[in-house]
């Protein structure tokens, strides 16, 4: 008997997390070559950057990236509504609100993980976005912040925000320590408490609960999918990207053959040549692919060639 979970084509079943400085449009194009169904997320974009900055630079993406979500950072309902509308007009499939980033810079902007202390404000933000767009509005959050790390704290946060129209929650199953730990430490030091996300799904069966944090294998994904609706993979998807090539076969209703690394290289060569016409440096694309041959003979040579060789024709 197979240990594969029941097939499900929910777009939230397997997601690649938004990661600052990593999940730009070139990274997402690369990941989409590997999986047609994994849901992809942008880096967090602040409302200020969108409303007062270079909108095409922050919002442009490749049509092949769908389904793709725009993650926003902010805490002003009107600004978030305006940015959500921009995202919908640009063609994104989802707007995600960041309530999980613990960095001091983000805290100074009064958004990210510190918003978990203000569920009514988050609910106002969500309602403003829901009223502005017809695509899903979702929230990514932690299980708690600082000493507020009880299940009841998270439950009340999710309950309040869901009443404003949010039906999908991405739960990073660690607390965020807002003072004293760096963002990197906040991804490693606070203990993972998957059982709290499981309990959340039990208490809110109508909500879509997606689990994030420390997941590194398909076997772990299967175990979690027995309790929640989806998983969100972060660093492992970036450092070991070829894992994504088996996602459609293992977790979705898909007969698509697993793409070979050679085919990925060929597609990247075509993509890179087109992007070079727009002035995109080769390194901006290929830096995301350094883990393509992870664990195989020749992996070091691949990393070296992607870092040193300048011409697309050498792929």
Instruction: Tell me the whole-structure pTM to 2 decimals.
Output: 0.93
Domain ranges of the chain: 14-251, 261-314
Interval 61-81 mean pLDDT: 97
pLDDT tens digit sequence for 124-141: 999 999 999 999 999 999
**Number of residues in the chain:** 315
Tell me which residues are annotated as active site. Answer: 101
pLDDT tens digit sequence for 206-240: 999 999 999 999 999 999 999 999 999 999 999 99
Q: Are 301 and 315 in contact (CB under 8 A)?
A: no
pLDDT at position 10 is: 77
Domain 14-251 annotated CATH 1.10.10.10: no
Angle at the Cα of 89 from the Cα atoms of 163 and 9, rounded to 5 degrees: 60
CA distance 279 to 38: 29
Please choose, from the candidates 122, 101, 114, 89, the residue with its C-alpha nearest in 3D space to the C-alpha of residue 45. 101
Q: Which of 238-252, 274-288, 296-310 has the lowest mean pLDDT?
A: 296-310
Residue 6 has pLDDT above 50, yes or no: no
pLDDT at position 15 is: 98
Q: Which of 185-189, 228-232, 256-260 has the lowest mean pLDDT?
A: 185-189
Q: Are 147 and 178 in contact (CB under 8 A)?
A: no
For the chain, the C-alpha Rg in angstroms (whole number) is 19
H/E stretch holding 73 reads strand 68-73
Peptide linkage before 67 cis (omega within 30 of 0): yes
Neighbours of 295 (CB within 10 A): 8
pLDDT at position 5 is: 46
pLDDT tens digit sequence for 150-179: 999 999 999 999 999 999 999 999 998 888
The CATH-assigned architecture of domain 261-314 is Up-down Bundle (1.20)
pLDDT at position 219 is: 97
Please choose, from the candidates 214, 153, 144, the residue with its C-alpha nearest in 3D space to the C-alpha of residue 178. 144
């Amino acid at each position: 008997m197979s240990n594969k979970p029941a097939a499900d084509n929910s777009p939230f079943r397997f997601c690649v997390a938004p990661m600052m400085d990593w999940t730009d449009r070139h990274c997402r194009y690369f990941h989409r070559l590997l999986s047609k169904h994994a849901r992809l997320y942008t880096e967090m974009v602040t409302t200020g950057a969108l409303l007062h900055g270079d909108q095409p630079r922050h919002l442009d993406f490749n049509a092949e990236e769908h389904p793709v979500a725009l993650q926003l950072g902010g805490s002003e309902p009107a600004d978030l509504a305006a940015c959500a509308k921009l995202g919908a007009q640009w063609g994104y499939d989802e707007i995600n609100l960041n309530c999980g980033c613990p960095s001091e810079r983000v805290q100074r902007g009064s958004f990210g993980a510190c918003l978990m202390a203000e569920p009514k404000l988050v609910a106002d933000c969500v309602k403003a976005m829901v009223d502005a767009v017809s695509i899903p509005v979702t929230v990514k959050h932690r299980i708690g912040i600082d000493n507020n790390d009880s299940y009841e704290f998270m439950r009340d946060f999710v309950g309040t925000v869901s009443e404003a129209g949010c039906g999908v929650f991405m739960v990073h199953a660690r607390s965020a320590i807002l003072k004293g730990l760096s963002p990197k430490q906040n991804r490693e030091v606070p203990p993972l408490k998957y059982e709290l996300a499981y309990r959340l799904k039990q208490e809110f069966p109508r909500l879509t609960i997606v689990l994030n944090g420390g997941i590194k294998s398909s076997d772990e994904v299967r175990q979690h999918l027995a309790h929640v609706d989806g998983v969100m993979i972060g660093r492992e998807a970036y450092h070991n990207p070829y894992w994504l090539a088996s996602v459609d076969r293992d977790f979705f209703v898909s007969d698509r053959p697993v793409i070979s690394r050679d085919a990925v290289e060929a597609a990247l060569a075509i993509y890179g040549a087109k992007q070079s016409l727009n002035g995109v440096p080769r390194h901006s694309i290929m830096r995301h692919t350094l883990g393509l041959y992870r664990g195989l003979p020749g992996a070091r040579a691949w990393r070296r060639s992607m870092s040193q060789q300048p011409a697309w024709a050498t792929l």
